[in-house]
Amino acid sequence: MKHNLLNLLILAVVFSFVSCNENKTEEDEHYIFSSFREPATDGLYLAYSEDGYNWEDLKGPYLKPEAGESKIMRDPSLIKSPDGVYHMVWTTDWKGGNGFGYAKSKDLIHWSEQKFIPAMQHEPDVVNVWAPELYYDDKKEEFIIFWASTIPHRFEKGEEAEDNNHRMYYTTTKDFKTFSETKLFLDPGFSVIDCVIVKRDSDDYVLVLKDNTRPNRNISVAFGNNPLGPWKDYSEPFTGHLSEGPTVIEQDGEWIIYYDNYGHDNYKAKKTSDFKEFEDISDKISLPEGHKHGTIAKISAKDLAVLKQESKKKETQEEKEN
């Protein structure tokens, strides 16, 4: 009887180990990088990575832009919600728009109908809505969408012209059907765009931002205890002149900050453990030719395998057309 019980225990442990490993393989998460190609009329492009450094092209487009007057797709911000659905927002108009585009997908191949979210329609003089960014607040279980807009004569312009003096605004939503009132997200006293929220711990957040004033055009960070700020202790820039579009991933207690080094027509990356000291690791990364800035999200091995098959179809179609 004792031997039988022992054998049953051993079998149970072995089964549990195998089962856990099977689940781990199924849910093993890699990285997916949303992107666009100039002149931003084609739509969504994708790249993937298994190590967070080396990125392989998944071709595109996966979603042709239909929202907005200009029918472009710049700065696609992609996030995977807790229920496994991918949500994406993007810039629809370089100038003249009062909102941004939105769509969702379960596999990044088949997408919902695109929507135009007129988040700045209450501001008749708004010049633009640039680079909307998605962040999921797990405490409030809601999405924060924040973007850069210029409203002439609203703020001290400093070095900037009145039609290029950006501040950050935001709205929140739980379902992308109803949205909170648009409010000011960030006024650091200078023209600012391309912000990214990073959660380090409960009540410990970092904001990565671009100082868009003419003499600077570089990236720095600020700190806060809430994803909506207030933000303080602004750092010195850790990138060179003419850099933008940061996105951040965490690996083993360190963060890798990717950014579009558009002044030199290339991509760079910095690694940090504290957002105070930054190590240039640009020589360790590789990205597809023509890749323009979006955001990095997680993707399961299963979903990635399906995307790879779709990418092969696109490649075959390209070969036939050429």
| pLDDT for the residue numbered 4 | 52
| pLDDT for the residue numbered 322 | 75
Instruction: Give the number of domains in the chain.
Output: 1
Asked if pLDDT for residue 23 goes beyond 80, the answer is no
pLDDT in tens, 262-298: 999 999 999 999 999 999 999 999 999 999 999 999 9
Asked if pLDDT for residue 27 goes beyond 90, the answer is no
pLDDT in tens, 99-116: 999 999 999 999 999 999
Percent of the chain with pLDDT over 70: 91
Percent of the chain with pLDDT over 90: 87
Model pTM?
0.91
Domain that holds residue 11: 2-321
Q: Which of 130, 144, 150 is nearest to 224 (CA)?
A: 144
CATH number at residue 203: 2.115.10.20
| pLDDT for the residue numbered 186 | 98
Mean pLDDT for the chain? 92
- Provide mean pLDDT across the span 221-225: 98
